[in-house]
Amino acid sequence: MRNFEIKGGNLPVVIVNVEPNETLISESGAMAWMSPNMKMETTSNGGFGKMLGRAVSGDTLFQNRYTAIGGEGLIAFASSFPGEIRAIPITPDKPMIVQKSAFLAAEETVNLSIFFKKKLGAGLFGGEGFIMQKLDGHGTAFIEIDGSTVEYNLGAGQEIIIDTGYLAAMDATCSMDIVTVKGAKNMLLGGEGLFNTVVRGPGRVILQTMPISNVANAIRKFIPTSG
């Protein structure tokens, strides 16, 4: 993909100039505007198994395919939450692991699948850190980041401890684990939750400054309860 532009500051949209007969895939509802020659087709994009995997990882059951017919086209995809849209180059030797619901749109040669942390304890108790999404194949993918981004390049064996929810994406060369906060007093009174995510290099780690789950929890206390 040669020609795209990300605009809108912290309320971002990515505007893509589409080559004739080029196809993009997106999450249902992501399209903001497009030229009249963009043909839309709603698809399961891989059958029931793929649909179920997308649902488990926080995405919509169906995806939309947009193809430029009869010449160049234009299409814009908007973020669903204040933050950033990041263009991620995906190659067969450089897949990416991203947070739940991060996928916005991509070239059709990029594959989206579910990524499990294969540890029972992490799955039962690790919350957001357990189920993520994997992007592989070849092409450009656009992902949503909650708030702003901070990046680290970890060396082999180097670790970073992350409060659950702040991990936006990481290279597939990184490994991750969910660990309990040490000390009963820290767990009960520290206010940081029960678990942290540990990411180990080598590879790039992208963190986000405003997880949508934290925003939801902050707003919830101001919502009147019925009765």
Size of the chain, expressed as the number of residues it contains: 227
Q: Does residue 21 lie within any of the structural domains?
A: yes
CATH of the domain at 165: 3.60.160.10
Helix (H) or strand (E) segment spanning residue 140:
strand 139-146
In which domain, by residue range, is 175 found?
4-220
In a domain, 225, yes or no: no
Cβ partners under 8 Å of residue 28, min gap 6 = 42, 60, 61, 62, 63, 64
Number of domains the chain contains: 1
Helices (H), the chain: 47-56, 120-125, 184-189, 212-220
Q: Which residues, in sequence order, are CB contacts of 101 under 8 Å at separation 6+? A: 57, 58, 59, 144
Tens of pLDDT along the chain (227 residues)? Answer: 669 999 999 999 999 999 999 999 998 889 999 999 999 999 875 554 454 454 554 555 678 999 999 999 999 999 988 999 999 999 999 999 999 889 999 999 999 888 876 554 444 444 444 688 999 999 999 999 999 999 999 999 999 999 878 999 999 999 988 887 665 444 444 445 567 889 999 999 999 999 887 787 778 777 877 65
Residue 215 lies inside a defined structural domain of this protein: yes
Q: pTM (2 decimals)?
A: 0.82
Any domain includes 226 = no
| Residue 170 counted as domain residue | yes
22 assigned to some structural domain: yes
